[in-house]
Homo-oligomer: A and B are copies of this chain.
Amino acid sequence: MTHLNLLVGGPTSEWPDQLTAGKVFGDWIGVDRGTLRLLKMGITPLVAIGDFDSLSADELKLVKSAVSDIRQAVPEKDETDTQLAVTVALHEYQYDRLDIYGATGGRLDHFLANFWMVLEPRYRQYAPRIRFIDKQNTITFFAPGSYEIKKEPDKKYLAFVTLENVGHLTLPDEKYNLKDENVTRPISYASNEFVGDTGHFSFDSGMVAVIQSKD
């Protein structure tokens, strides 16, 4: 499975240890301040995207001298920098997975915009390829269907999160079960757990996020 990584400009305190240690492998796209942070880790991103209005003149100069492909957006735009980066990542590159770091913590209006991006018609079909990763959480997205998911060794908790109306949600073999639940508003079914190393679930309409997390 091939991964393309995005680094958004959220607080570094939310980074998973692996990223802090510079041990997330693969190609990168830098988003706004994320680009500068990648360069400081010795990583040159394929593309740098953003309005870069949070960078000083010297920082912007460094970015421009290091990265060959820069997409500088105007600050007053309808899309967020992260949306622009996801569009570039999905349309111009062929990877199985898009792992987004730095999109959590800090400003919650940003986090929610990022989290709900997968509900936009233009991104919806790509949702199953998008993953948000931070220090305590991995978020993945699912279209209607039946799935087997694997426990991440370092995570304890499992949550099923309905992003919209979800039909016949069934959790047959987790610690807490659901059967054919029709969920008519967003709910975070938090603090569930795997019983073994894998779990199954299914639903037939809407979109579900799965969050594996630890304290």
Q: Taking beta carbons and an 8 Å cutoff, which residues of A are in contact with B?
A: 13, 54, 76, 80, 104-110, 112-113, 116, 119, 134, 136-137, 139, 157, 159, 161, 163-164, 176, 185-188, 190-191, 211, 213-215
Contact = CB atoms under 8 A, between A and B. Distances in A.
- The interface residues of chain A, by DSSP majority, are classed as mixed
Contact of A112 (B54, B119, B161): B161
A13 B137 CA distance: 17
Copies of this chain:
2
Contact of A215 (B54, B161, B214): B54
B54 A188 contact: no
A116 B13 contact: no
A190 B188 CA distance: 22
Contact of A108 (B80, B110, B139): B139
Most buried by B among A106, A108, A161: A108
Contacts of A105: 105
Nearest to A105: B105
Contacts of A161: 109, 112
Given A185-B119, A215-B54, A190 B157 contact: no
B164 A109 contact: no
A108 B187 contact: no
A76 B191 CA distance: 10
A159 B109 CA distance: 6
Contacts of A157: 107, 109
13 contacts: A106-B136, A107-B157, A107-B215, A108-B213, A109-B159, A109-B191, A109-B211, A110-B191, A112-B161, A112-B188, A113-B187, A113-B188, A113-B190
